Each structure stands twice: as C-alpha cells, then as structure tokens.
Structure 1
Amino acid sequence: MTGQHKIGSGFGFSSTADDVLRGIDLSGKLAVVTGGYSGLGLETTRALVKAGAHVVVPARRPDAAAEALGGIAEVDSLDLGDLSSVQGFADRFLASGRSIDLQINNAAIMASPETRVGPGWEAQFATNHLGHFALVNRLWPALVAGGGARVVSVSSTGHRRSDIRWDDLEFRQGYDKWEAYGQAKTANVLFAVQLDALGKDSGVRAFSLHPGGILTPLQRHLERSEMVGYGWIDEDGNPTQHFKNTEQGAATQVWAATSPQLDGLGGVFCEDCEVAEVSTDDSPGVRPYAIDPASAARLWTVSAELTGVNAFG
C-alpha cells in the first residue's frame, strides 16, 4: 500500500464530478457502476457518460434503473445480496468478451432493520461487502484484460463506527444497525487494500473513499426525527451546511476512478477528491484499523470462504 497522505490534488469539498473530469476523455472506456441509477450512482453514471465512457449499470430493479437512466447507460440485472444473481451478471458480462476499465462499487444499504440474506448473512455486510467481493472476483478476467483497470470501493466515515467484528461478523449476539453499517464500511476499505495488493502486478489498482454527507435514497431506513437529531437536516427537512449536493458527492469516486493524479498509487482511502490522512480523533481521515494490511488479508480469506469465490485462490 502507498503512504496514506495528501497529494495536493487541487480539488476539495465543493468540487463536482464534472470538475474532476474536466480535460479527461473516457472515449472507448467501459465502466461498471453498481447502483448507478440512484443518488450518487446516478450522478456518477451521468458524469462518466458525459466524459465519453460506456457505462454498464447492474441493478436490483432493472426496470427502475432503465427509467431513471433514460437510455444513457446499459442496464442489467444484479442483486448483490444473492450470490447466484452476482454469478449470473458476471457470466453474462464475461460472455460479451468486453474488458472493464473502471469499476465503481457504489451500491449500498445503510442502517437497515435487522435483515438476513443468503445463508443467513447480516444484510449490510452481505450487500455492501460480500456481494461486491464476489462480483469483482468473478469479473476479474475482464478487469485484467484491459491492462490498467481501477476498482473503486465506496465506503464512508461510517467505518469509524466499527472495526471488523471477527468474533461475530453476522451480529448473532445482538444487532445494532449503525455498528453493522460501520463494519460493512470498514470492510469496503479493507477490500480495496487487499485487492490492490493482489492486483497491482496485473495492472489493477483499487481505492476506497468517503463521498461526504449527501441526502440520497441511502437514508430510506431513517425517520426524519432521527436525521434531525443527528443534525443532518433542520425541522423542515432541509440539509445542514456540512452536506454536499449529489454533484459534489459523486466527485470523489469519479476522481478515484479516473484521475491521472493517482497513477502509480493504490490501496488508499480518499475523501474530498484527495488522498486522506490517517486519523485517530475527530479530524477527517481514515482509521488505522481500516487500512491494516493484516486485517485486509484476513478479511479477504474470510470473504472467499463465505462466498466460495476467489480469483486469486
């Protein structure tokens, strides 16, 4: 992993996806964006298409995705909580013979009521991490085929809420929706650390990021009173000043996927279109446990055992 330190990108909190793509031509590039039809994902898809990329959006609700995208992107079916669905999408894509230049693992659920999917997995860990883990491993032939792909794992500051609960990954000993979200977001960071370590010799680099606070359908499981209590919105439902709009919120994942400023780097956590610093207090940055190489390797092994998929096994 490269040093987790700022590089002086020149971008920041208010930069938009269009800002970071200015001067970048993505013609001939293919991007896969999970959840690329809603919230930050939709803005990410729009920006990439505007820069010339062909975008494939695998969606749990393909009809809704097609309607939201209005024909600007290719839509296929994918439920990240169902490993057979993940395999189905990957098989269809690989059969097309195309390579992937950019993969943005953007789809997520947050603070959901206790839900079990697959063989009884906790849904946030399964959807946000295990589904994406299986997807990337199954798509690996297409990622290496282009000779220089990037995989972007969308995490958040939510990773600060919990390290990986090695003794109770599935919350069998009592469920807490925010701890479960925190564990899943830490997993997103660790996934990028290990994927980069495994993939860089094949030309595949991985990054993780915090997009910022943005009000999107991700908050669907939260009551308005909860969000007022957190200071996210006022009594009228308006976002507070520390929130970004979707154009700003999509910027860091687009920057991580495309910026030449990151050439030669990988395995780092980004925020506000910049490589983040390591933080152990309330200052911005990434927690040390989320970028620990030993934990990243351990989580990869556990995830491969759970999903039965490992491109490097």
Structure 2
Amino acid sequence: MNTNNHATPQEPILSGFGPRTTAQEVLGGQDLTGKIAIITGGYSGLGLEATRVLASAGATVIVPVKTVEKAQAALSEILGVELVRMDLMDPASIDAFAEKFLASNRPLHMLINAAGIMANPLVRDHRGYESQLATNHLGHFQLTARLWPALEKAKGARIVSVSSRAHQMSGIDFEDLNFNNRPYDKFVAYGQSKTANVLFAVEMDKRGRAYGVRAFSVHPGSILTDLSRYLTEDDMRAMGVLNEQGELVFPEFNDEFKTIPEGAATIVWCATSPQLNDKGGVYCENGDIASLTDTRFAPGVFEWAVNSGHAQRLWQTTEQLVGLEFSI
C-alpha cells in the first residue's frame, strides 16, 4: 500500500533481516573503500556503532562533534575517522562544517543524520525554536541542504534520517511548532521532531531521486543509550525498561528491545544495502521497509508521517524557519 505518491511502496520487501540482525550482518561483507560518510552523533550510541561498522569496511567517516574530547576518546581505536566541530543548535557552525567539507571537493556517498536529543526540559535556541525540533530536524535539514553539492557529486548518495516509533506520539502542529501557545510536553515535542524526520525523508527522496540521491527514515528499535539521559524513573517505568524494584529490564529476546549492534542494523542497511537500490522515501525498521499502521506503539509507520502533502508543507515551513531555500 502506498499513500504518499512516492516511487517505493511503504511495505516490506522481505529482506531476510529482522530485529536480531546486527549492523555488521546487514553489511554483508561489502567493501566500502573509497566511500565517504558523514554521521552526526557518530561518536556515541547507535551512531558510534554505525561509524565502527562502516569504517571497518573501508569507508572514510567524518563525524561532526560538539565535544571533541569525548569524541576522541570514543573513536580512538577506529581507523578512517575524521572529527570536525559542529553543533546542530548553532546554524553558523553547521555552515562552517559544510563549507569545510565542500572545500575538500569530495563526494558524499552517505549522510546519516543520527544525532538527537529526547524528552528534555523546554529549552530554546537563540532563534526561539524548541530544542528537540531544532536539533533533531532543523539542524539536519540545514546540514543536508548545505552538503547538497557533495551528495549530488556522489552519483548515488543515500541520506538516512534516524527517526523513532515515537513519531506515533505526535504529528506536526503547523500552527504551533515551537510550543509558543500550547503547554510544553517533552514527549509530544520529541514525537513531533521524529515525525519531522520521516517527512523529511519523504520529500528529500522526491526531490533528490532525479539526481541519484535517495532518502530513508529509520526506527532503530528501543535501545538504552545516552539518549535516555533526561528520562525520569517514572518515564522509564512507563516505557517498560524499569521494574518496580528500580532495576533496568532488558529482555534479550523481546523484539521491542535491542542491543546497540542490533539497533544500528537498519541504519547501516538503509545506508548501504543493494536491496534498496532504486528505492527510497520510506520508513524502515528491523532491517526492512515497514508497513503502515494506525495502532500506537505497534510496528509500522503512521500515515501522518509519510503523507506527501505534510512532507511538502514541512519542507517549505522549514526553509522559512532556518532562512534558506533548499531548492533542487
């Protein structure tokens, strides 16, 4: 079933992969020598695992970093990694990062937008924009726009936006994106930003595929990483990862919870798999394209996140918010 008028149906292709597949396994022995990847958030959690796996296959991985010392410690034993300063909440630093990369005249084969914040207290950037939207969506939109010449130069680039099943918690409130007039809810804000990640992939793929640039969004699975640092004990109990004794519950064979290598699998699959040649604009999970659903917190993607009209409107709204025209 395909409700958003893009080339690839939002339905599984029976890839042969599943929730227990690891990032190393989906790579399938591919040689990525000569390929260039940029991975935001590439020095912690899922991004770090994606960095490790792609670099181990020969790719050069550029990791934008806000805290250089932390990144150096995490990446010290991985060869083929370059660290460059960047802060997704700072538009000037995004532009400077992109300008430095473009000056190298290299193509960009994989852009993995994996950095993010989740369920934090209300913070606004200097423009007044809510921080989860600013970090998870607006910063990545600006970064992708600035890197467009290098993506086009690759003649077959892929863009992977790391979303979440939390997109099912909220669509886009176009009338009040930044919680100026409605009460701030940290989970609604997170859900809205994750829906934005999916809609970005829909419209990015529509605009980019004539140039060989395909875009995907990913639900990596439920994984305990540093992303959960703002969650309270009550939040974690509600999510089912903390029992009444205050102990972390990590059921090894429960499809809802994954290890970091398993969580990074769909990210790496979308960035590299030949199974996705000539495909794009779809939301993926468990190493496959997901189905549509209208059941909250069930596998699959909500229609509001893959709706072509919403995707186009968000693109235009985002251009206004970040003050750039990303016309392709």
TM-score grouping bracket, smaller chain normalisation? over 0.9
Shift of the alpha carbon at 1:163?
0.4
Asked if 1:27 is matched to 2:33, the reply is yes
Contact 2:319–2:326 (CA under 8 A) maintained in structure 1: no
Paired position in structure 1 for 2:222: 213
Rounded Cα–Cα distance in structure 2 between residues aligned with 1:132 and 1:260: 25
The answer to which of 59-68 and 84-93 deviates more is 59-68
Paired position in structure 2 for 1:194: 203
1:167 pairs with 153, 172, 175, which one? 175
Query: How much is the aligned-residue C-alpha RMSD, in angstroms?
Result: 1.1
Shift of the alpha carbon at 1:272?
0.3
Paired position in structure 2 for 1:227: 236
Paired position in structure 1 for 2:189: 180
Q: Secondary structure at the match of 1:90?
A: helix
Asked if 1:141 is matched to 2:156, the reply is no
Asked if 1:281 is matched to 2:295, the reply is yes
Paired position in structure 1 for 2:67: 61
Contact 2:266–2:287 (CA under 8 A) maintained in structure 1: yes
Q: Secondary structure at the match of 2:289?
A: coil
1:82-93 correspondence runs (5 A): 82-93=90-101
Contact 2:85–2:97 (CA under 8 A) maintained in structure 1: yes
1:1-313 correspondence runs (5 A): 1=6, 2-70=8-76, 72=78, 73-173=81-181, 174-234=183-243, 235-240=246-251, 241=254, 242-282=256-296, 283-312=298-327
Q: Secondary structure at the match of 1:64?
A: helix
Q: Secondary structure at the match of 1:116?
A: coil
Contact 2:136–2:197 (CA under 8 A) maintained in structure 1: yes
Contact 2:240–2:249 (CA under 8 A) maintained in structure 1: no
TM-score (norm 2): 0.93
Structure 2 unaligned residues grouped into runs of 5+: 1-5
Shift of the alpha carbon at 1:71?
5.2
Cα deviation digits, residues 167-214 of structure 1 (max 9, x gap): 100011210000000000000000000000000001100000100000
Aligned residues: percent identity?
A: 50
Q: Secondary structure at the match of 1:27?
A: coil
Rounded Cα–Cα distance in structure 2 between residues aligned with 1:11 and 1:226: 31
Corresponding residue pairs, total: 313
Rounded Cα–Cα distance in structure 1 between residues aligned with 2:260 and 2:11: 26
Contact 1:138–1:309 (CA under 8 A) maintained in structure 2: no
Q: Secondary structure at the match of 2:43?
A: coil
Rounded Cα–Cα distance in structure 2 between residues aligned with 1:175 and 1:22: 44
Give runs of ≥4 in structure 1 deviating > 6 Å. none
Rounded Cα–Cα distance in structure 2 between residues aligned with 1:136 and 1:180: 22
Structure 1 unaligned residues grouped into runs of 5+: none
Paired position in structure 1 for 2:3: none
Cα deviation digits, residues 269-310 of structure 1 (max 9, x gap): 000000000001143100001001111010000111111223
Cα deviation digits, residues 109-166 of structure 1 (max 9, x gap): 0000000013100000000000000000000001001111000000000100000001
Contact 1:149–1:203 (CA under 8 A) maintained in structure 2: yes
